[in-house]
Structure 1
Amino acid sequence: MRHETLEVTRDARDVVSVTLNRPEKRNALSARMIAELTDVAAALNARPDTRAVVLRGAGKVFCAGGDLSWMMAQIEADRDTRMAEARKLAMMLHALNTLRAPLIGLVHGVAMGGGVGMAAVCDSVVAIEGTRFAFTETRLGLIPATISPYVLARMGEGAARRVFMSSRVFGANEAAQLGLVSRSVPPEEAEAALAKEVAPYLDVAPGAVGRAKALARALGPRIDEETIDLSIRALADAWETDEARDGVAAFLDKSTPPWSRDG
């Protein structure tokens, strides 16, 4: 299947690589990319022979968050439309989170906002040293809502609260300490580290892996329809605040929002 925003390949071992392929846009999540990722996840779940899935980004960064044109559309949208668009993102993350096959991320350069959410739905993540992470939504007067169930499930509440609300940029080593990524490695060791993450899954029963993963999800933090709906409503509420209006306007104007005391 041909994709506009992704490159998807399967090797002789039945290891699938899914590459975010909008390097000119810093692999920002557009409506098209969200739809294609959702479709790819469904197609992968229809293939019981898949041993592992690798998620990575083309170019200089993994994923810089939401696409600017997508954000512009949300500014002009009504509440129902915003909730519908947020649901598409939420269900894409849900589709990746519920893959039967193990999902292994290779993160480099930048992972912001939704890009952090993409890392959080992976079963393990290799981050290249120098990668910058941040939940940037509160700088805009918004909140990291649709990604929140997966971030909290991955990091735990205590670790998440260190970085979830501040928009503070943190590095790959701290991301490993917080439990967001499995390990941080130098660039020259990234492919070898990724291979080590994939290797165990070539010697175990794919069906058993999928059942074990489903059990881990069932016994872990609840991420069900009610949880997803709560995150979507919270984001819709945030969009309707004066802070969101002022923050997004300042972002677009490259000006300072009224609450900033920096400098």
Structure 2
Amino acid sequence: MMNYSTLEIERSGSTATVWMNRPELHNALNETLIAELTSAFRCLNEEAAVRVIVLAGRGKSFSAGADLDWMRRAAQYSEAQNLDDARKLAAMLKGIYRSKKPVIARIHGAAMAGGTGLTAVCDIAVGTADARFALTEVRLGLIPATIGPYVADAIGMRQSRRYFLSAERIDAATALRLGLLHELVDADALDARVAEIAAELARGGPHALTAAKELLADLRQSTPLDDTLLDDTAHTIAATRVSDEAREGLAAFFAKRPPNWH
């Protein structure tokens, strides 16, 4: 794992926490933070000892969105330069969303614009009552393009129509109702709850967790009326049942012992 200037990587057991570490700027996104998040998730996905990844922010905020200096520079870029810049942001978001390992978002304070996007790309999002979100891009003459697919996936198209256009603030209770957050906890219980969820995730088979995420991607593209999908799921479970991991999991269950990955 390389050294980072905008991140801290903290390990506890099988959990790795990726701390965005620009507290004086509320962990605002710039080209360096984007590149380092891309690198960190790529590396952690290759570490067998890491079973769960937590994304968190140091200081008062999770992430307040785009860094103002970065936005100011981008305003002077050509379209080609902006395309290159946007593709790097898109690659970072995709890398987190498609992580082979479960990702938990630890949310407190501001999670605005890009911070809302970072929340949406994580598999599970746990936040505190002071968490606040918004898709503020239209007020700057922009649109939430790169984060849009993930936010719409998280809260649905009908709600997205409202919040993409209104740019209004979304408080923690509303985020919970929309599905952007899975749980709300007291601030002093946030780390303990994230650790509890990470421990539950780590009980799953490593390959099974990855395969479950791939299954979810397939299910988004089809419906139970699609016979091809139903046949594919039958083939998938048949292949899974004869895997070494599944045999170990079932053997451990019947022997009333932990499986070898636990």
Q: Please, what TM-score do these two structures have when normalized by structure 2?
A: 0.81
Distance 2:8 2:67 in 1: 18
Q: Which residue of 1 aligns with 2:140?
A: 140
Q: Which residue of 1 aligns with 2:124?
A: 124
Which amino acid letter does the alignment assign opposite residue 71 of structure 1? M
Which amino acid letter does the alignment assign opposite residue 9 of structure 1? E
Which amino acid letter does the alignment assign opposite residue 5 of structure 2? E
Distance 1:221 1:148 in 2: 17
Q: Which moved more, 1:191-200 or 1:133-142?
A: 191-200
8 Å CA contact 1:50, 1:206 repeated in 2: no
Q: Which residue of 2 aligns with 1:44?
A: 44
Which amino acid letter does the alignment assign opposite residue 4 of structure 2? H
- Number of equivalences: 221
8 Å CA contact 1:151, 1:160 repeated in 2: yes
Q: Residue 104 of structure 1: SS of its match in structure 2?
A: strand
Within 5 Å, give how 1:34-113 maps onto structure 2: 34-113=34-113
Matched, 1:187 2:187: yes
Which amino acid letter does the alignment assign opposite residue 219 of structure 2? L
Task: Give unpaired runs (5+ residues) of structure 1.
Answer: 223-263
Identity of aligned residues (%): 41
8 Å CA contact 1:128, 1:184 repeated in 2: yes
Distance 1:154 1:220 in 2: 12
Q: Residue 126 of structure 1: SS of its match in structure 2?
A: strand
8 Å CA contact 1:49, 1:206 repeated in 2: no
Within 5 Å, give how 1:242-257 maps onto structure 2: none
Go from structure 1 to structure 2 and tell me whether the alpha carbon gap of 1:7 and 1:221 turns closer, same or farther (over 3 Å shift): farther
Root-mean-square deviation (Å): 1.3
Q: Encode CA deviations 1:185-236: one digit per residue, 9 max, x unaligned.
A: 22122122212321212222111111111221232269xxxxxxxxxxxxxx
Which amino acid letter does the alignment assign opposite residue 9 of structure 2? V
Q: Which residue of 1 aligns with 2:225?
A: none
Distance 2:9 2:161 in 1: 35
Which amino acid letter does the alignment assign opposite residue 77 of structure 1? Y
Deviation at 1:41, TM superposition (A): 1.3
Distance 1:193 1:76 in 2: 44
Larger Rg belongs to:
2
Q: Which residue of 2 aligns with 1:200?
A: 200
Distance 1:197 1:166 in 2: 33
Q: Residue 9 of structure 2: SS of its match in structure 1?
A: strand
Q: Which residue of 2 aligns with 1:249?
A: none
8 Å CA contact 1:48, 1:207 repeated in 2: no
Q: Residue 19 of structure 1: SS of its match in structure 2?
A: strand
Q: Residue 62 of structure 1: SS of its match in structure 2?
A: coil
Which amino acid letter does the alignment assign opposite residue 37 of structure 2? L
Which amino acid letter does the alignment assign opposite residue 204 of structure 1? G
Q: Which residue of 2 aligns with 1:241?
A: none
Q: Which residue of 1 aligns with 2:245?
A: none
Q: Which residue of 2 aligns with 1:7?
A: 8
Q: Residue 125 of structure 2: SS of its match in structure 1?
A: strand
8 Å CA contact 1:15, 1:50 repeated in 2: yes
Distance 2:14 2:192 in 1: 18
Q: Which residue of 2 aligns with 1:177?
A: 177
Which structure is richer in relative contact order (CA contacts within 8 A, separation 6 or more)? 1
Q: Residue 204 of structure 2: SS of its match in structure 1?
A: coil
